[in-house]
Amino acid sequence: MPFTPRDPEVLKQLIAREVEGLRSAARRHAGVRTGEGAGAPEEAGTACACGGSPDRAHSCGDGTGGAAGDEGAEHDPWGCICATLPAIPVSAALLVPVRDGTGRTVDFTVRAGNHVRAAEWLEAPDRHAGRRLLEVQPGAAAGGLIGALSEVLSSGRALRAYAVDYTEHRTDGLHRTPLLYDAASCGGNVLATWRPARNRTELLSLDAQYIASMGWGTWDLLSGDVAWSEGLAAIFRAETGRPLSLAELCDAVLLEDVWRFGRLLTGLLDGEEPPGGEIRFSVLGEVRTVHLVGHPVIATDGLPWAVHLIARDLTAQVRSRQRLASSRRYGELLEEEAAAERRVASVLREALLPTHSAELAELGLSLATAYLPAESEAVGGDWYKCRRLPDGRILLAVGDACGHGLRAVARMAQQRHALAGLAHAPGTDAGQLTTWLNELLCADPAAETATGIIGHIDAGHTLRWACAGHPAPLLLRDGRAEALDTGHRGPLFGLVPGHAYATATVRLRPGDLLLLYTDGLVERRGEDITEGIAALMAVLVSCAGLTPQETLDRVMGSFVVEDHEDDTCLVALGFD
């Protein structure tokens, strides 16, 4: 088994040794260029671009001074440059600046050009000789090209890949193509070339890399040159012109995956095609998972002189798998927590809403209560209160704190205990209690809205009650059911601070049955709440002559859990 490094520094040292060994072997068989001694460059540099010598009078390429290199002809360096333009494989032209009265360059004249078109609908530069640049390329004005070329003259710095989104209105309609301009100062003139920013093959390649989240690169082991596709640069968040060396990639690999990357590279350096694999890299502080496959470029001497790597970014897929696994674990945890929460909340509810004592029976009242969850074992914020106060009145209340679970139970307990404390204030009526409870909820920024009914029943069985956005109680009397008038009903608890709640009075008779409930009993999917109330009243009518407990049993028998999305609390009070 070959040695596979697990440390980045060891892996880089191994790569350096292998590359140096390949270079040494290549040097033994490489050809040697002759004539590289001192003085050779200078001698080579004495020739003119046309093949003539500057110390000889000759003319080049413009058809006015005779054949190139003729004895006695006048030397024309601009003619030499113009003569070389056809050899340039992209659109090229020699441009002469046109200046205004202040000396500012406002345009250029095309002195000469070649025959290469940058786009099918653009003319070749040699058709423009003697004409203004803005005349033959009117779309360049909007792209700032004149200013960029002027800067070349004033600064002496060459222009590299200056992008112009060239748009031109021609007789057959609008045309657009992205062009890249290169230019250099040339004796007071400008030699410029331009080419399409992307040809069709490059655009298709870029689209494929983007869609597949992939890219490729080549590392020349002998020269050290590195070339990356834009897709690979995007994966590693690198500049296209600044690809990473193999050593820099070693530094980016996560320590746990160094051995995987090392196994791939050592195989390629041995001239093999090892299997690919998923390798994680740290890219600008972010962990990215990349599937790498490689191919060595083998020379005729059997030695690999370059390696190709193809990479596909799997980061999104890996994260998706991780999220799915995490969601499953989180779902299981939530189920466990929900079950525990339901158990705790159920115990709390039993403690907070106990079956009432027999003290009400001494006053000629019979009480039955029930709690109906919307889901099995679910708990919510519905509550009731029915007890005898020190002044002899009966406090009767029902409420609904929004939500489910422990938080709703906590809000329910807060409201119920607050009412219990406020109710002992001497001389208070139901309207005042409702107003005070509303102020408590409005003053608490963490509180949420709630509904409720608060009332007092005196010794004469007169009910004085206030309502905070809650469904009206139902009264069963003489075989008929009706909802108590809610003309005095006020807003929900916690909604309008400072609101003073009014009360209404109802005289209760022997044989009456009063039913208080929360809205979960009458709200159904896709149905108006008035329809649910009407259905409840119909069930209540069928309960004429039954005890409060028998009435609740029948009401609960008509309650279909699947039809309801909220829990409900029921209080039935009979008057003997």
The reported pLDDT for the residue numbered 460 is: 86
| Cβ atoms of residues 175 and 167 within 8 Å | yes
| Cβ atoms of residues 66 and 50 within 8 Å | no
Q: What is the mean pLDDT of the chain?
A: 83
Which carries the bigger pLDDT value, residue 43 or residue 273? 273
**Residues whose CB is less than 8 angstroms from the CB of residue 109 and which lie 6 or more positions away in sequence, other chains included:** 95, 96, 98, 130, 131, 132, 133
Read off φ and ψ for residue 371, nearest 5 degrees: -130, 125
Helix, strand or coil for residue 248?
A: helix
**What is the separation, in whole angstroms, between the first and last Cα of the chain?**
96
| Cβ atoms of residues 575 and 510 within 8 Å | yes
pLDDT of 477 > 90? The answer is yes
Tens digits of residue pLDDT in 435-457? 999 999 999 887 789 999 999 99
The reported pLDDT for the residue numbered 527 is: 83
pLDDT of 74 > 70? The answer is no
What percentage of residues in the chain have a pLDDT greater than 70?
Answer: 82
CA–CA dist 410, 458 (Å, integer) = 31
Mean pLDDT score, 214-227: 88
The reported pLDDT for the residue numbered 144 is: 87
Tens digits of residue pLDDT in 492-535? 999 999 999 999 999 999 999 999 999 988 887 778 889 999 99
At 538, the pLDDT band (50, 70, 90 cuts) reads very high
The reported pLDDT for the residue numbered 61 is: 43
| Cβ atoms of residues 40 and 290 within 8 Å | no
Which carries the bigger pLDDT value, residue 371 or residue 484? 484
The reported pLDDT for the residue numbered 261 is: 93
**Residues whose CB is less than 8 angstroms from the CB of residue 335 and which lie 6 or more positions away in sequence, other chains included:** none
Q: Containing H/E element for 464?
A: strand 462-468
CA–CA dist 235, 246 (Å, integer) = 15
The reported pLDDT for the residue numbered 60 is: 45
What percentage of residues in the chain have a pLDDT greater than 90?
Answer: 43
Which carries the bigger pLDDT value, residue 576 or residue 469? 469
**Residues whose CB is less than 8 angstroms from the CB of residue 457 and which lie 6 or more positions away in sequence, other chains included:** 365, 393, 394, 396, 463, 508
Angle at 291 between CA 287 and CA 293, to 5 degrees: 140
Which carries the bigger pLDDT value, residue 284 or residue 302? 284
pLDDT of 322 > 80? The answer is no
The reported pLDDT for the residue numbered 54 is: 44
Tens digits of residue pLDDT in 23-35? 888 777 666 655 4
pLDDT of 424 > 60? The answer is yes
pLDDT of 208 > 50? The answer is yes
| Cβ atoms of residues 289 and 278 within 8 Å | yes
CA–CA dist 475, 504 (Å, integer) = 14
The reported pLDDT for the residue numbered 191 is: 95
The reported pLDDT for the residue numbered 326 is: 78
